[in-house]
């Protein structure tokens, strides 16, 4: 029987995941605590509104972000960012704390060989957006919860010549074991149940250059996109599925996954 083997949420868009034993799925279509903050360019969408990932510092344009380790205290509303043994920021989310966090990340990003700020002064200063509570900055404006099978991950790793392939490259909320490779893609336009929560499987999840970045080192070290299109005859590079919940509930590691 297929079952949940790992759960993740990402408090700050494009940064370190939190590995969780359970996730609260909201009826609005998102995971509680997931993408509740983001580092947005100065010339991006104003205030806290949703916007496309191209307006943020994220792995697709700044792979070196993977070198940072982030921890967010959801109850105290305090964000800490470390680079190795160095603390870059450890601040509450008041106005001055947000400014210091954004400035620390901006300084780090400007020091990278590949970054979206150098030569584009209109994008500075960065702004830390989001209230730290409302999940808002998923890639899709509708939110959606993402899932992949580890058998698909193993199939892709084999196509890459047996290279070690960390599932964190794909930033899914849910990882599942016990499926055939790529079986989850056949669930599109069907319903599945995970523990107490039923989902509509809306679409396959299209991928971007963020997947080329090693989630530990930030190096672009594997050709994920061309491998997906050539080895698996995909018209567009696809890995994982995007789902809309049909109600709220808590899902846990170990929950069974089945067609509804």
Q: Which CATH entry fits the domain spanning 3-31+139-259: 3.40.50.1970, 3.30.70.100, 2.40.33.20, 3.40.640.10?
A: 2.40.33.20
What pLDDT, in 10s, does the model give residues 131-164?
999 999 999 999 999 999 999 999 999 999 999 9
Model pLDDT, residue 92:
98
Identify whether the C-beta of residue 176 lies closer than 8 Å to the C-beta of residue 193: no
What pLDDT, in 10s, does the model give residues 195-254?
999 999 999 999 999 999 999 999 999 999 999 999 999 999 999 999 999 999 999 999
What pLDDT, in 10s, does the model give residues 71-116?
999 999 999 999 999 999 999 999 999 999 999 999 999 999 999 9
Identify whether the C-beta of residue 260 lies closer than 8 Å to the C-beta of residue 193: yes
Torsion of CA 70, 238, 181, 174, to 10 degrees: 30
Bridge-based pairing of strands 238-245 and 78-83 is unpaired
To the nearest whole percent, how much of the chain has pLDDT over 90? 97
User: Which of 165, 169, 168 lies closest to 154, judged by CA?
Assistant: 165
Domain spans of the chain, in order of start: 3-31+139-259, 38-129
Identify whether the C-beta of residue 191 lies closer than 8 Å to the C-beta of residue 200: yes
Within 10 Å of residue 229's Cβ, how many Cβ atoms? 15
Model pLDDT, residue 24:
98
């Amino acid at each position: 029987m297929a079952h949940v083997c790992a759960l993740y949420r990402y408090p700050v868009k494009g940064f370190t995941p939190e590995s969780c034993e359970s996730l609260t799925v909201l009826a609005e279509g998102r995971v509680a605590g997931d993408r509740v903050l983001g580092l947005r360019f100065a010339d991006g969408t104003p205030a806290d509104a949703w916007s496309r990932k191209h307006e943020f510092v994220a792995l697709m344009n700044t792979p070196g972000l993977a070198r940072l380790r982030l921890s967010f205290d959801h109850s105290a509303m305090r964000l800490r960012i470390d680079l190795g043994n160095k603390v870059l920021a450890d601040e509450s989310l008041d106005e001055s704390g947000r400014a210091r966090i954004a400035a620390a990340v901006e300084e780090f990003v400007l020091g990278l060989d590949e970054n979206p700020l150098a030569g584009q002064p209109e994008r500075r200063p960065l702004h830390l957006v989001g209230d730290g509570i409302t999940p808002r900055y998923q890639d899709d404006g509708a939110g959606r919860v993402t899932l992949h099978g580890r058998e698909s991950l193993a199939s892709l790793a084999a196509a890459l010549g047996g290279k070690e392939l960390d599932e964190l490259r794909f930033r899914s909320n849910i990882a599942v074991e016990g499926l055939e490779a790529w079986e989850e893609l056949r669930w599109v336009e069907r319903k599945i149940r995970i523990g107490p929560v039923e989902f509509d499987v809306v679409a396959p999840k299209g991928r971007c250059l963020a997947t080329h970045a090693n989630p530990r080192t930030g190096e672009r070290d594997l050709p994920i996109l061309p491998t997906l299109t050539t080895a698996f005859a995909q018209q567009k590079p696809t890995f994982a599925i995007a789902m809309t919940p049909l109600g709220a509930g808590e899902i846990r590691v170990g929950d069974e996954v089945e067609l509804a």
